[in-house]
């Protein structure tokens, strides 16, 4: 494992950017967090502080330690969680009170996903076959003491739509024509077009094509043209014909951002299916860093199987 040390001026702390080998990879998998690939480095989000009024809770959370896997400490060898956003930073740079202004850096509330059997879903026969195929591959991986390969394991963008993850923040930049979500993990980008319609005959891609509009203070986004997904972590199973409708809203004086997505995919499901609700919190003290996963691909894949 390689470590680069970056001092934080005036704090007495350092940021250790770890370039992970297979040992670190297995540790992340054991914590039931998103599988990481190669030489990834990150700045992790802090746990969500108690909020006044409406208290966020992640649906489907399995008790994953807040910020587990974070690398920021006086000892760069430690995996320790970041503290909550400093109150002075929140006072100095509070979120916009405008419910339609989503700009800034957000860190998601820790949320774990099941690594075993898929949850009960209203599957079509095609959907059932895809789940069975994945379960068979999972059994083979389990027998070898490995995990199934994911898109991130191939150094590709993460599956699904989201704003940050447990270990990585995201920055939202917007104007009157677009809202762009820049996820640090996997160099993800979610571009939401506020004008026009999706082009016809889209070629399937990792991010698809998203068109959004405001319904009151809720941003409603429709995404099409996505690649098929086999449902890693028990969520997100879909075909290339899927249509995802997402709703984003700010609450608690703009400090929290909720994302709820529904998958419309008659090829896979007998009815629309909701993805687990995800929540992010305002963190002006965080910065979205570069993300690199190209190096040491062989070492990162030692604990994974296709």
CATH number at 273 reads 2.40.128
Tell me the range of 12-21, 37-46, 270-279 where mean pLDDT is highest.
270-279
Specify if 292 maps to a domain.
no
User: What's the pLDDT tens digit per position in 16-32?
Assistant: 333 333 333 333 333 33
The model's confidence at residue 247, banded by pLDDT at 50, 70 and 90, is very high
Specify if 155 maps to a domain.
yes
Specify if 48 maps to a domain.
no
Specify if 63 maps to a domain.
no
Among the residue ranges 9-13, 86-90, 214-218, 248-252, the one predicted with the least confidence is 9-13
Specify if 287 maps to a domain.
no
User: What's the pLDDT tens digit per position in 60-80?
Assistant: 322 223 333 333 333 333 334
Specify if 82 maps to a domain.
no
The predicted model gives 280-284 an average pLDDT of 90
**What average pLDDT does the chain have?**
73
More confident residue, 233 or 186: 186
CA 246 to chain centre: 14
Number of domains making up the chain: 1
Residue 196 has pLDDT above 90, yes or no: yes
Specify if 92 maps to a domain.
no
Domain that holds residue 136: 125-282
Q: Kindly give, in sequence order, each residue whose CB lies less than 8 Å from that of residue 300, ignoring residues fewer than 6 positions away.
A: 20, 21, 22, 25, 36, 37, 38, 39, 153, 293
Specify if 79 maps to a domain.
no
- The per-residue pLDDT for 111 is 58
Residue 147 has pLDDT above 50, yes or no: yes
More confident residue, 291 or 194: 194
- The per-residue pLDDT for 14 is 39
The Cα–Cα gap between 15 and 5 comes to 6
Residue percentage of the chain with pLDDT more than 70: 65
Q: Could you give the C-alpha distances from 75 to 12, 141, 181, in angstroms and in order?
A: 11, 35, 32
């Amino acid at each position: 494992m390689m470590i680069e040390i970056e001092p934080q001026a005036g704090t007495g702390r350092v940021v250790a950017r770890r370039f992970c080998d297979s040992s670190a990879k297995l540790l992340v998998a054991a914590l039931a967090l998103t599988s990481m690939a190669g030489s990834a480095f990150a700045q992790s989000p802090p746990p969500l502080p108690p909020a006044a009024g409406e208290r966020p809770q992640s649906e489907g959370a399995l008790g994953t330690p807040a910020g587990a896997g974070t690398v920021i400490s006086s000892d760069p060898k430690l995996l320790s969680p970041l503290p909550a956003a400093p109150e002075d930073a929140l006072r100095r740079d509070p979120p916009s009170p405008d419910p339609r202004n989503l700009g800034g850096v957000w860190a998601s509330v820790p949320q774990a996903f099941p690594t075993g059997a898929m949850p009960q879903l209203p599957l079509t026969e095609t959907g059932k076959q895809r789940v069975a195929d994945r379960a068979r591959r999972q059994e083979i991986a389990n027998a070898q003491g490995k995990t199934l390969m994911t898109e991130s394991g191939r150094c590709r963008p993460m599956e699904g739509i989201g704003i940050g993850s447990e270990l990585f923040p995201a920055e939202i930049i917007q104007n009157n024509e677009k809202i762009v979500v820049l996820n640090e993990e996997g160099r993800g980008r979610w571009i939401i077009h506020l004008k026009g319609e999706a082009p016809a005959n889209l070629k399937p891609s990792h991010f698809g094509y998203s068109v959004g509009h405001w319904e009151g203070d809720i941003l409603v986004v429709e995404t099409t043209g996505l690649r098929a997904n086999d449902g890693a972590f028990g969520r997100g199973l879909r075909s290339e014909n899927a249509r995802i409708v997402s709703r984003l809203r700010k609450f608690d004086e703009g400090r929290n951002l909720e994302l709820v997505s529904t998958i419309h995919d008659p090829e896979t499901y007998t009815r629309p299916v909701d993805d687990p609700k995800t929540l992010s919190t305002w963190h002006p003290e965080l910065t979205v860093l570069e993300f690199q996963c190209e190096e040491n691909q062989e070492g990162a894949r030692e604990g994974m199987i296709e």
